Amino acid sequence: MRLKNKPWANKLVEEHPESALDWPDPAEKIDWAARFGNDKPIEIEVGSGKGQFITTLAKQHPDRNFVAMEIQKTAAGIILKKKLDEGLANLQILCADAANLVAYFGENSTSKIYLNFSDPWPKSRHEKRRLTYKDFLAKYQAVLTGDGLIEFKTDNSGLFAYSVKSMNNYGMHFDFVSVDLHHESEEIVEKNVETEYEHKFASKGQPIYCLHAGFLAK
C-alpha cells in the first residue's frame, strides 16, 4: 500500500546514512559486516511497510542482524525512527527495489527472507512483479544459505495459491503450510510476530495464510 509522503521521514533517511541506505548504487557492494559491526547471520524482510514486524524481531533477537528492505522512502523513514528511538543496533534499513536483491547481498549471506503481505498484483500481465514469481525465487536462492528459508504471509488466497504453485514448480520444499495461521496450535500462534496489516485483517476474522519454504541443495 502506498503511504502518504512525509517530508520528515525522507529527511531522516538522508540524515542517517550509517543506519539507512538510500537507493544505493547496485554496482557497489555493501559491506554489511562493517555496517553492523559484526558478521552475525542476516535476515531480510522484503517490503517492511511501517516496520512493526522487523523491529519486533530485532528486539526479540539481538543475536541476529536484520535488514528492512523497503521501496518507499517514507516507509523507510518511519522504520528508521523506530530503530533510532528503540536503539536497535542490529537493524539496518535499505531503501531499494527487491529486483536488485542480488546486487546488495552476497551469495550465501542470508539465513532467512520474510515476505509479508506483498502486493498480490492480481492481473496476469503483472505476474512478473509478484515477489514469489520464479525470477524472484532465483534471487532469493542466490543469497540464502543452503538451509535458509523463506517465510511468507498473506491475507490474499489467490496470491497464496499462486505462491505455493510457483515454489513447488521451482522445486522448493515446504516446512510449514497454514491456511489459517491464527488458529494453529497455541505454540505456533505465540511465536508468530504480527505485521500491522496482519493484526488489522485477523481482527476482522480474515484467515492469514502462511508458509515456510526452502530450496534443495545447491
Q: Which residues are catalytic?
A: 119
How far, in Å, CA of 11 to CA of 16, rounded?
A: 9
In our burial notation (b when 16+ CB lie closer than 10 A, e otherwise), range 76-91 reads: bbbbbbbbeeeebebb
